[in-house]
Amino acid sequence: MHPADTRTAILETSARLYADLGYSAVSMRDVASAMGMTPANLYHHFKNKDDLVRETVAHVFAEKTEPIAEMLEAESRDADRLDLFIDHFVRLLTGDRVFFRFLVRELVDGDEGRLDDLAHTVLERPFRLVSGLADIRQPEEERFLATVSMIGVILGHALLAPLLPHLPGGHAGFADPTSITNHISAALRHAAASDLETK
């Protein structure tokens, strides 16, 4: 196999395994046998396990940076941009379970350095977009918290999705991305309408 292909294939295999089981629960032998190769060969492509983990995290996030940037530049009208962002972000988090699990894992486990990487490679651009669309008349703290709530409520929906069938009155259908998108968009329009009337 061509070298670059093998390297990428390893990263995608290990990404799936790490997302499912966590870094320390997945051995080099696990990754190797999932790839149909010998563990020793992994050490030809990566210095050691820590290197493989870091490269895998970087690979998973790098893959998502481009689509997010494209989405942000696709639409120009503010209201549409926010709706579009919500739609894309919900679909990204609920659709790609590997990416979502890496994101949460890094948020919960990451040290300062890894959090800094995460902030700049994945979340900074969406954050700037949402923050820029917030009501400019609000104080800075209010605007910042509103942005966190916006991103946070989408993260929260993705996080709670697997739990919904176990809650009273819930079933898996409520985790449908379209339902979530519509609901959040509607709630946002309500809040905006209320804002206009009370100010």
Q: Which does 49 bind (CB under 5 to 8 A by kind): a copy of itself, DNA, none?
A: DNA
Q: Per CB under 7 A, does 29 bind DNA?
A: yes
Q: State how far the Cα of 170 lies from the Cα of 53, in Å rounded to an integer.
A: 37
Our measurement of the distance from residue 107's CA atom to the centroid of its chain's CA atoms, rounded to an integer in Å, reads: 10
Residues 138-177, one symbol each (x = binds a copy of itself by CB under 8 A, - = not), give --xxx-xxx-xx-xxxxxxx-xx-xxx-xxxxx---x---
Task: Give me the residue label for tokens 């991305």.
Answer: 177
Phi, then psi, of 172 in degrees rounded to 5: -60, -25
Pick from 27, 65, 178, 194 the residue near DNA by CB under 7 A.
27
Could you tell which of DNA, a copy of itself, none binds residue 84, using a CB distance below 5 to 8 A set by kind?
Answer: none
Per the structure block, which two tokens stand in for 127? 């954050």
Give the C-alpha separation, 184 to 176, whole Å.
13
By the rule CB under 8 A, 96 interacts with a copy of itself? no
Using CB under 8 A as the binding rule, whether residue 16 contacts a copy of itself is answered as no
Find, among 98, 87, 124, the residue nearest to 18 by Cα: 98
The interface mask with a copy of itself, positions 115-144, x = CB under 8 A, is xx-xxx--xx--xx--x--------xxx-x
Residue 30 contact among DNA, a copy of itself, none, beta carbon within 5 to 8 Å by kind: DNA
Smallest gap from residue 118 Cβ to a copy of itself (A): 7
Smallest separation, CB 46 to a copy of itself (Å)? 20
Q: Which two tokens stand for residue 117?
A: 């990487």
CA nearest to 106, candidates 54, 154, 69: 54
